[in-house]
């Protein structure tokens, strides 16, 4: 019994906010098949989520943007102050620059499009839980394009080693930690250590802040 309780305690807890019944239930059923996750609650509106999420405090909330009534982005802004440890994964059809930046500024740490495969979604949720900022590749490219409107090299880049800069470039392409590990033929733990060092040197908390600091306009 103690082992069972321990396993349940270790599972990554989730909530899903999505107004389309088939999408919401499909996500819940698929994610629930994975023993690493526990779906605590699902919501069809931001208003319902705002009322309950601060009480149940899930590790991650999968959040749609276009909801009836309050938007997902506004919901994140309000929930963040009440449940700061909860991380948010956008799961939406929107890929325009304005929506992406607005969601990230509101407090989202990941951004996936709804054409993302379910297996990739599981990997992205694990990466988010472990401190990453997973994004669909074209979303990451959009951000890099925005950050590189000026091609000037940021002074912060000089703080990083050649290998750390190499990892940062791969992060900017939207690669997951496992994909970076495979690409560079290094262990997953080594990748995580490099990422940790990058964040410490740049005094940032996640991928978006790191890319902004190195490639963004001053």
Percentage of the chain beyond pLDDT 90 is 55
Q: Among 148-162, 169-183, 190-204, where is mean pLDDT lowest?
A: 148-162
**Is residue 2 over pLDDT 50?**
no
Pairing type for strands 60-63 and 12-17 reads parallel
Q: List beta partners, residue 135.
A: 111
Average pLDDT, integer, range 51-67: 95
What is d(CA 13, CA 154) in angstroms, rounded to the nearest whole number? 38
Instruction: Classify domain 2-134 by CATH architecture.
Output: 3-Layer(aba) Sandwich (3.40)
Q: How do residues 100-126 score in pLDDT, each as one tens digit?
A: 888 988 999 999 999 999 999 999 999
Average pLDDT, integer, range 178-205: 91
**Is residue 7 over pLDDT 50?**
no
Q: Where in the chain is the domain with CATH 3.40.50.2300?
A: 2-134
Tell me, what's the pLDDT at 102?
87
What is d(CA 76, CA 88) in angstroms, rounded to the nearest whole number? 7
Is the CATH code 1.10.10.10 the one for domain 152-215?
A: yes
Q: Where in the chain is the domain with CATH 1.10.10.10?
A: 152-215
**Is residue 35 over pLDDT 90?**
yes
Q: How do residues 139-160 score in pLDDT, each as one tens digit?
A: 887 777 766 654 445 566 677 8
**Is residue 6 over pLDDT 80?**
no
Beta-sheet strands, E only, within 29-132: 37-43, 60-63, 87-92, 110-113
Average pLDDT, integer, range 161-166: 90
- Cα separations in angstroms, 201 against 143, 164, 175: 21, 10, 21
């Amino acid at each position: 019994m103690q082992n069972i309780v321990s396993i349940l305690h270790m599972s990554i807890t989730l909530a899903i906010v999505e107004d389309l019944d088939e999408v919401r239930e499909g996500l819940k059923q698929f994610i629930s098949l994975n023993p690493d996750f526990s779906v605590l609650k699902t919501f069809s509106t931001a208003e319902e989520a705002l009322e309950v999420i601060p009480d149940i405090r899930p590790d991650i909330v999968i959040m749609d943007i276009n909801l009836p009534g309050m938007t997902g982005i506004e919901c994140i802004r309000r929930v963040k102050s009440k449940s700061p440890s909860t991380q948010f994964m956008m799961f939406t059809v929107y890929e325009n620059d304005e929506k992406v930046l607005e969601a990230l500024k509101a407090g989202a740490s990941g951004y996936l499009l709804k054409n993302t495969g379910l297996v990739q979604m599981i990997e992205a949720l694990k990466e988010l839980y472990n401190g990453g900022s997973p994004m669909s590749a074209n979303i990451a490219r959009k951000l890099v394009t925005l950050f590189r409107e000026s091609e000037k090299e940021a002074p912060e880049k000089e703080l990083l080693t050649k290998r750390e800069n190499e990892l940062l470039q791969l992060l900017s392409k939207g690669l997951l930690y496992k994909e970076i590990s495979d690409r560079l033929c290094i262990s997953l733990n080594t990748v995580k250590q490099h990422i940790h060092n990058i964040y410490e040197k740049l005094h940032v908390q996640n991928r978006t802040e790191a890319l902004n600091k190195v490639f963004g306009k001053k």
